[in-house]
Amino acid sequence: MMSVRQVLDIVLSKTECLDSEVVALREAAYRVAAEDVLAPAGFPPFPASIMDGYAVVAADGPGEYPVAGQVMAGHPAGYVQEPGQVSYITTGAPMPEGADAVVRIEDTEPSGDRVRIKVGVQPGHDVRQAGSDMAPGTLVVRAGSVLGPAELGLAATAGAGTVAVTRRPRVSVLSTGDELQPPGEPLGPGQIPDSNHVMLSAMAQRMGCDVQPRTAIAEDTESQLGQEVRGSLRQSDLIITSGGISMGEADLLPKVLTDCGAEIHCERVLMKPGKPFTFSSWQAASGDRRCVVCSLPGNPASAMVTFLLFCVPALRRMLGHQPPALPRIQVVLDSELVPDSTRPEFHRVALAWDHDLHQGKGGYRAVSTGAQRSSRLLSMLDADALITVPPGSQPLPSGSTVAAIDLRHL
């Protein structure tokens, strides 16, 4: 059986970054930048006042001065300010030529048709020099980073109206099993609701994928599975199936995948839950289309854990995220964890910040989500992180510091 590391290496080696598209900045929130964005010019583009007040010649010092004019934000002065004059100026307005400092309104007073400047200031006082917030050539967005609020604001400041982003991965989600009914439908004897389709679709959507509107559920027959898989291969970058890969009579997916022309690279992983995880890839005979298929076990908690461990890095690779793996953090166990004797276990935990940990420096306490049985989806509720519990015979004691995959970065 392959290790999680070996399978992850295979998944990443068969997955490549998708091509890019150019979109308007306002459409680009939370997408992944495909190219660096540089600021061609500095910001602000002109020396600007930091305050509402009077533009002065610093060397003139305190005193009463005639007002040469007023400069409002968005409107250049259009005149030269002589020594011995001041100009009314608003925050963000360009400094009039000749002035070299600003005295804020609170430090001035009207005096007939003149203005009394009550304080002395140094040249440059309350003036934002051109390029002082951002020098020309500054890298404001790095390729592979997510276009969050700061990146979008900076790209706009740098003068960009559009940005190159990686194309959204096209993802098909297929639940398999005769027992499954769409959510909300009445259940006959032996039937259960399909929880995996909505769950896995939501995860893919949250990662920025286009989830293809195809049939959600396939029965356990070669013909129906084959029809769904064949239909999805051409339209998808990633197919996520759940169920049908264990050792039972109705576990037909590996055969169906092979019949559809996919090559299976891994059929079992040394992990708990998720042992039956199967990974395959497909390429059109013409060579112009490729697709990878992650076949997850049917049990909902197993499906979630294998999605997190294998589909997330695959999708992050397609999207061009750097790095493809989710970040790891150190956490302190809130209770003892009993390991499996042979397989590493991915234990779901909630995280709580505890000020008292690590000699008062603070840290995350990891609280188990309870029984980890693979059918118990409640173990995923409130799960902020996955702890890898190495196989062994000794429990991991409460208070141990262990590494955890931080799921809050999805």
Minimal distance, residue 209 CB to ligand AMP, in Å: 18
Pairs from 76-82 (Cβ < 8 Å, separation ≥ 24): 76/46, 81/55, 81/57
CB 97 within 8 A of CB 46: no
Closer to Mg ion at the Cβ: 208 or 243? 243
Minimal distance, residue 355 CB to ligand AMP, in Å: 40
Rg (alpha carbons) of the chain, rounded to whole number: 31
Closer to Mg ion at the Cβ: 86 or 303? 303
Cα separations in angstroms, 238 against 106, 171, 278: 63, 5, 13
| Of 4-12, 63-71, 244-252, 287-295: span binding ligand AMP (CB under 6 A) | 244-252
> Backbone phi, then psi, for 179, in 5-degree steps?
-80, -5
State how far the Cα of 334 lies from the Cα of 63, in Å rounded to an integer: 69
Q: Does 274 bind ligand AMP (CB under 6 A)?
A: no
| Sign for the pseudo-dihedral over CA of 103, 119, 63, 113 | positive
Minimal distance, residue 347 CB to ligand AMP, in Å: 20
Closer to Mg ion at the Cβ: 177 or 226? 177
- Local structure of residue 201 (DSSP, 8 states): H
164's tokens: 């190159």
Q: Does 243 bind Mg ion (CB under 5 A)?
A: yes
Minimal distance, residue 135 CB to ligand AMP, in Å: 54
**96 interacts with, out of ligand AMP, Mg ion, none, CB within 5 to 8 A per kind:** none
State how far the Cα of 301 lies from the Cα of 322, in Å rounded to an integer: 27
Question: Which residue in the set 47, 226, 300, 324 belongs to the binding site for ligand AMP (CB under 6 A)?
Answer: 300
Closer to ligand AMP at the Cβ: 300 or 320? 300
Question: Which residue in the set 55, 89, 180, 218 belongs to the binding site for ligand AMP (CB under 6 A)?
Answer: 180
Minimal distance, residue 380 CB to ligand AMP, in Å: 12
Minimal distance, residue 217 CB to ligand AMP, in Å: 7
Closer to Mg ion at the Cβ: 181 or 400? 181
386's tokens: 């996955």
Contact code string over 188-207 relative to ligand AMP, x by CB under 6 A? ----x-xxx-----------
Question: Which residue in the set 42, 298, 324, 363 belongs to the binding site for ligand AMP (CB under 6 A)?
Answer: 298
CB 214 within 8 A of CB 231: yes
- Local structure of residue 378 (DSSP, 8 states): G
State how far the Cα of 261 lies from the Cα of 289, in Å rounded to an integer: 13
Q: Where are the alpha helices (DSSP H) in 81-208?
A: 149-157, 196-206
- Local structure of residue 19 (DSSP, 8 states): -
Q: Label the pairing between strands 86-89 and 63-71.
A: parallel
- Local structure of residue 82 (DSSP, 8 states): P
State how far the Cα of 217 lies from the Cα of 306, in Å rounded to an integer: 19
Q: Does 177 bind Mg ion (CB under 5 A)?
A: yes
Closer to ligand AMP at the Cβ: 158 or 252? 252
Q: Does 273 bind ligand AMP (CB under 6 A)?
A: no
Burial 89-102 (b: 16+ CB within 10 A, else e): bbeebbbbebbbbb
**299 interacts with, out of ligand AMP, Mg ion, none, CB within 5 to 8 A per kind:** ligand AMP
Closer to Mg ion at the Cβ: 274 or 298? 298
Minimal distance, residue 176 CB to Mg ion, in Å: 6
Closer to ligand AMP at the Cβ: 81 or 278? 278
The residue ranges that bind ligand AMP (CB under 6 A) are 175, 177, 179-180, 192, 194-196, 242-244, 246, 248, 297-300
